[in-house]
């Protein structure tokens, strides 16, 4: 199957309808389908054959904007087996882990498939994505979500139900993404699978996980100095001269850590900056 359809709406397309109050509704077009709300109804045939960006009117007179889903909208509305990685973090992973067309990528912890959708788009038709998930029920949800968005089976995607460390069989991997409770347990296996220059990227929720992950990567010896950060997103209200930040924002969702794989037998030079006193506990010094 291809990545996305373009052109006029067709039966089978997922369409997002947005009303004047910016409330969004998602429907899958059917020849005999009808969209019902308290504001009236719209036959799907009013949409089929129309271009994206059309306006349709319900029987009650309400106008709706009609577009195909953006990936960010889809991932926030998809059925969930596990919590999804927010689009702001998926975007950071694709950019900061340098996921490129044709890349050989491995992810561990597929969740509901949100990140998988972003990674598949980034690696393109010539790349590959292998996803490892311990829970079969999460894997089933992720498979349905990915195939629903892309319109069918993705030949460049392989989903393995099993433990990452035990089941990993790839070598010369360009990028490894770890989204799990204890990514530090997978650092050694990741080092063995990554090609020199490859990137490991870990997504964790708490500062305790962040510290353990960074220190394990740092102490392993096969990676460059880890880089840790988080992103915060704040929308703005803009109406004439009334320009102000929104009262609500997408704050902390998780931390990201990246590092590069060194060449075999090579260790990175030691850090010049000394850690602050007590950073590693009383009576100890950072290495």
Is 240 annotated among the ligand-binding residues? no
Vertex 249 angle, CA 244 and 252, to 5°: 145
Helix (H) or strand (E) holding 37: strand 34-37
Half-sphere exposure of 284 (CA within 13 A, CB side): 6
Question: Has 122 been labeled as part of a binding site?
Answer: no
113 assigned binding-site residue: yes
109 assigned binding-site residue = no
Q: Is there a binding annotation on residue 179?
A: yes
| b/e map 144-179, b = 16+ CB within 10 Å | ebbebbbeeebeebebbbeebeeebebeebbbbbbb
Query: For residues 33 and 44, is the Cβ–Cβ distance under 8 A?
Result: yes
CA 104, CA 100: separation in Å to the nearest integer? 9
The closest of 73, 77, 21, 26 to 47, measured between CA atoms, is: 26
169 in a known ligand binding site: no
Sequence-ordered list of residues with C-beta below 8 angstroms from that of 39, at least 6 positions apart, any chain: 19, 58, 60, 61, 62
SS3 238: strand
Annotate 189-211 with DSSP letters as a single string: HHHHHEEEEEEEEEEESSHHHHH
DSSP state of 4: -
The response to whether 230 counts as a known ligand-binding position is no
Query: Which residues participate in the annotated binding site for S-adenosyl-L-methionine?
Result: 112-115, 133, 163, 179
Binding residues: 112-115, 133, 163, 179
């Amino acid at each position: 199957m291809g990545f996305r359809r373009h052109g006029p709406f067709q039966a089978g397309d997922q369409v997002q309808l947005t009303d004047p109050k910016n409330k969004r509704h998602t429907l899958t077009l059917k020849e005999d389908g009808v969209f019902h709300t308290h504001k009236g109804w719209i036959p799907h045939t009013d949409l089929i054959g129309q271009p994206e960006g059309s306006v349709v009117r319900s029987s009650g007179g309400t106008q709706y904007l009609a577009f195909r889903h953006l990936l960010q909208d889809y991932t926030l509305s998809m059925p969930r087996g596990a919590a999804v990685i927010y689009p702001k973090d998926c975007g950071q992973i694709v950019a900061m882990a340098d996921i490129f067309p044709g890349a050989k990528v491995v992810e561990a912890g597929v969740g509901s498939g949100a990140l998988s959708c972003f990674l598949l788009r980034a690696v393109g038709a010539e790349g590959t994505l292998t996803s490892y998930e311990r829970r079969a029920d999460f894997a089933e949800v992720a498979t349905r979500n990915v195939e629903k968005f892309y319109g069918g089976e993705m030949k460049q995607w392989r989903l393995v139900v099993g433990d990452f460390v035990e089941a990993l069989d790839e070598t010369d991997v360009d990028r490894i993404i770890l989204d799990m409770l204890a990514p530090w347990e997978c650092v050694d296996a990741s080092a063995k699978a990554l090609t020199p220059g490859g990137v490991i990227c870990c997504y964790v929720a708490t500062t305790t996980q962040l510290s353990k992950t960074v220190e394990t990567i740092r102490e392993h010896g096969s990676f460059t100095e880890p880089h840790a950060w988080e992103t915060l997103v704040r929308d703005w209200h803009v109406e004439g001269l009334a320009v102000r930040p929104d009262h609500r924002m997408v704050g902390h969702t998780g931390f990201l850590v990246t590092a590069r794989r060194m060449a075999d037998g090579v260790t990175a030079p030691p850090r010049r900056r000394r850690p602050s006193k007590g950073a590693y506990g009383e009576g100890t010094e950072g290495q």
